[in-house]
């Protein structure tokens, strides 16, 4: 292998137990079965920040009951979340996935040998008895011998749903029933690493007879873990990533939107609370766009409500605004964990886009510049800073996404405005 080919970077995801369209109710609440697609999206967002892997390996139990009507739709939905990532997706069938041939067909994969970056990756679809016991078949053990004979010098990694080592002390059959025989085969044929799923708590990298063994924890259970594995020749590094926030320092999201936002699609206030709790935030604050609560979508997105501030009062008089409905609904959700507020803007007169009677009673007002009203339009940078100063004079507690205005308008962010912006904030 050349120096450019001597590393293999893998993302390992196990046990999503997804249920959406399937006619099935997951009997174990800790599995968060409804979040499968969203968990995949969150993993994808995470790995985008840290660099794409060479491949993603799904370690089985993608759905909670592959035999239920509608389970195929859930598998297809998971596949759709992964197909645009642009790296190979390897799939290991699990005991909950139903027909392994169907699973592999849906994902366009097959068991057996895959070659990536000069490494040999072997995936197994071990067969299950009705009591969930599984064993490696004689044919599977023979395939390992044949692959090693054909590729005597390439590093070999093997992936299966059930753990091989260490033994799991449980009445439930986690390990392959012929695990000692499998371990002997792995040692004889120089397997670098054996990767499994199935055991939701996972197990860290350990070695037996120079073979590395690791079990990936379940993505569906808090703290929503997955693995990043890097192999260089015969050296293995395993890093566990978790989607849940660390407890310290406590993190608070003070800018959360709701179903009242015109840009909302699947977001809801109750859903945001549920996810904030599950993923470890210390608190959240709902801060809906005040302008969107008063005027129509069209009058908001074209900025008319800032150039014609009388539209706010007109909407209230005509009974078309949603401000009071928003306040009432969010007030019912208020708690030590949930605060309520607004995201406000300044109109052409430098006044908040907020009626006087709606200003009191909020936990937080955050300010933002989304549009430049007509009096501020001439010199864009000067107008932006003048409008921002007007906004800060209104005693907002937070300035939201200060320079996103430029990016949204396809302009370079004026970094030379950072110091004067900092002075305005400090003042």
Residues 208-260: tens digit of each pLDDT: 999 999 999 999 999 999 999 999 999 999 999 999 999 899 999 999 999 99
Q: What is the pTM of this model?
A: 0.88
- 4: how many CB neighbours lie within 10 A of its CB? 8
Average pLDDT for 88-101: 97
- What's residue 37's pLDDT? 96
Question: Is residue 394 packed enough to be buried (19+ CB in 10 Å), middle (13-18) or exposed (0-12)?
Answer: middle
- The strand order across the sheet containing 156-159 reads 112-116, 119-123, 156-159, 191-196, 211-215, 203-208
Tokens linked to 273: 């609370």
Strand partners, 240: 227
- What's residue 227's pLDDT? 98
Per-residue confidence band for 265, with pLDDT thresholds at 50, 70 and 90: confident
Question: Is residue 191 packed enough to be buried (19+ CB in 10 Å), middle (13-18) or exposed (0-12)?
Answer: buried
Per-residue confidence band for 186, with pLDDT thresholds at 50, 70 and 90: very high
User: How do the domains of the chain map onto residue ranges?
Assistant: 8-242, 252-426
pLDDT digits (tens, 9 = 90+) for 357-415: 999 999 999 999 999 999 999 899 999 999 999 999 998 999 999 999 999 999 999 99
Ranges of H-type helices in 51-178:
71-82, 100-107, 138-150
Average pLDDT for 26-54: 94
Query: How big is the chain, counted in residues?
Result: 427
Question: Does the domain made of 8-242 have the CATH classification 3.60.21.10?
Answer: yes
Average pLDDT for 278-288: 97
Beta strand segments in 144-242, E: 156-159, 191-196, 203-208, 211-215, 225-232, 235-242
The answer to whether the beta carbons of residues 81 and 41 sit under 8 Å apart is yes
Calculate the average pLDDT of the chain: 95
- With tokens 């004689």, the residue in question is 138
- What's residue 85's pLDDT? 87
> Residue 52 contacts by C-beta under 8 Å, 6 or more apart in sequence?
85, 86, 87
Count Cα neighbours of 230 within 13 Å in the Cβ-side half-sphere: 10
The answer to whether the beta carbons of residues 353 and 306 sit under 8 Å apart is yes
- What's residue 3's pLDDT? 43
Per-residue confidence band for 1, with pLDDT thresholds at 50, 70 and 90: very low
Residue 234 has phi, psi (to 5 degrees) of -110, 10
Tokens linked to 50: 């840290």
């Amino acid at each position: 292998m050349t120096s450019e080919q001597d590393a293999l970077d893998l993302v390992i995801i196990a046990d999503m137990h997804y249920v959406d369209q399937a006619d099935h109710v997951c009997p174990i609440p800790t599995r968060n079965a409804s979040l499968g697609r969203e968990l995949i999206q969150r993993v994808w967002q995470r790995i985008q920040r840290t660099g794409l892997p060479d491949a993603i390996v799904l370690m089985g139990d993608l759905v909670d009951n592959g035999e239920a009507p509608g389970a195929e739709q859930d598998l297809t939905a998971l596949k759709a979340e992964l197909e645009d990532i642009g790296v190979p997706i390897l799939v290991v069938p699990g005991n909950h996935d139903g027909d392994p041939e169907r699973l592999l067909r849906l994902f366009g994969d097959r068991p057996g040998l895959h070659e990536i970056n000069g490494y040999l990756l072997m995936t197994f679809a071990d067969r299950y008895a009705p009591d969930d016991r599984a064993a490696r078949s004689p044919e599977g053990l023979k395939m390992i011998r044949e692959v090693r004979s054909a590729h005597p010098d390439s590093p070999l990694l093997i992936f299966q749903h059930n753990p091989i080592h260490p033994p799991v002390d449980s009445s439930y059959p986690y390990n392959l029933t012929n695990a000692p025989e499998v371990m002997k085969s792995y040692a004889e044929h120089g397997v670098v690493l054996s990767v499994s799923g199935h055991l939701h708590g996972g197990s860290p990298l350990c070695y037996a007879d120079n073979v590395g063994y690791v079990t990936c924890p379940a993505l569906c259970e808090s703290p929503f873990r997955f693995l990043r594995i890097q192999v260089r020749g015969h050296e293995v590094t395993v890093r566990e990533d978790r989607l849940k926030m660390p407890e310290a320092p406590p993190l608070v999201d003070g800018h959360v939107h709701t179903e009242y936002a015109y840009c909302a699609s699947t977001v809801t206030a109750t859903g945001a609370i549920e996810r904030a709790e599950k993923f470890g935030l210390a608190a959240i604050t709902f801060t809906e766009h005040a302008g969107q609560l008063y005027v129509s979508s069209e009058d908001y997105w074209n900025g008319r409500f800032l150039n014609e501030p009388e539209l706010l009062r007109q909407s209230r008089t005509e009974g078309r605004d949603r401000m009071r409905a928003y306040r009432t609904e969010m007030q019912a959700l208020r708690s030590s964990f949930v605060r309520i507020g607004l995201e406000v803007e300044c109109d052409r007169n430098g006044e908040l886009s907020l009626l006087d009677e709606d200003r009191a009673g909020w936990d937080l007002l955050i300010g933002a510049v989304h549009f430049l009203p007509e009096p501020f339009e001439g010199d864009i940078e000067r107008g932006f800073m003048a409008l921002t100063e007007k906004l800060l004079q209104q005693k907002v507690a937070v300035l939201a996404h200060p320079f996103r205005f430029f990016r949204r308008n396809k302009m370079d962010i004026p970094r030379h405005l950072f110091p004067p912006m900092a002075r305005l904030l400090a003042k």
